[in-house]
Amino acid sequence: MKLLYFAWLRQKIGTAEEDVTPPAEVTDVAGLIDWLRGRGPAYAEALRDERVVKVAVNQEYVRRDHPVRPGDEIALFPPVTGG
Amino acid sequence: MIRVQREDFDIGAEISALTAGNHAIGGVACFAGLVRDMAGGDDISAMTLEHYPGMTEKELARIEAEAQARWPLEASLIVHRYGRLGPGERIVLVVTASAHRQAAFDAAMFLMDFLKTKAPFWKLEDTGGDARWVDARESDESALERWRKPAR
């Protein structure tokens, strides 16, 4: 699956996008975030406070129990501040 | 109609183009957002707007469709810029046109309230020395509350 990061999440993690293949037990957004936290200190720090991490799967806002599948485009970003 | 672009826009020209030839329109409301030169007591030398290409357009189109469903609009337009902008530069434009003013005013406010909390844009303020990401405001989220009940 393709992961995209924006704003300070992108800066903290150190990349704008990456292709990942999580283990089979990662089936939803919550599981994906947990798995990402274990990938290193930059991920752990960026994803420390869940309240400021919004998630979109295939460009739609989703909740933490939304499924994630191979081939999905999954974006993690802070609360939006446009306008 | 929605547009996400780096370039500036001409408010008068946008309104003229949107309303041209439609004589059912009796009222046009317009909101433009500009870059301020101050934030939290600090001078702002520039602001960089990042966005999520693809999702941004989808969200703006969804918000516009929702406004079209709630109010009898003859026309509507959302233009949002991205990239590096200086103080005084235009960031966003919302134009709504209807037979009467109330629908135009209300729909413009609705579009801005939803845009600010749903459209995937992020502002990075340049204060000269360092740059900092703008925090989302609680008041933006609570502004949505007024739209929970049906508009008409």
Q: Which domains does chain A have, with CATH numbers?
A: 2-77 (3.10.20.30)
Architecture of the structural domain at B2-147: Alpha-Beta Complex (3.90)
CA distance A50 to chain B (A): 15
Contact map slice: B 6-65 vs A, CB within 8 A: 33, 49-52, 54-55, 58
Write down the residue that tokens 């502004």 correspond to: B143
pLDDT at B150: 63
Sequence-ordered alpha helix ranges (H) in chain B: 11-19, 55-70, 101-118, 138-142
Contacts of B99 (CB under 8 A, 6+ apart): B24, B25, B26, B27, B72, B74
Q: Which two tokens stand for residue A38?
A: 């274990």
Answer whether B81 touches A (CB < 8 Å). Answer: no
Instruction: Specify the pairing of strand A60-61 against strand B38-39.
Output: unpaired
Answer whether B136 touches A (CB < 8 Å). Answer: yes
Rounded percentage of chain B residues whose pLDDT exceeds 70:
97
pLDDT at B151: 55
**pLDDT per residue as tens digits for the range B76-129:** 999 999 999 999 999 999 999 999 999 999 999 999 999 999 999 999 999 888
- Residue pair B98/B107 in contact (Cβ under 8 Å)? The answer is yes
At residue A12 the predicted structure's pLDDT band, cuts being 50, 70 and 90, is: very high
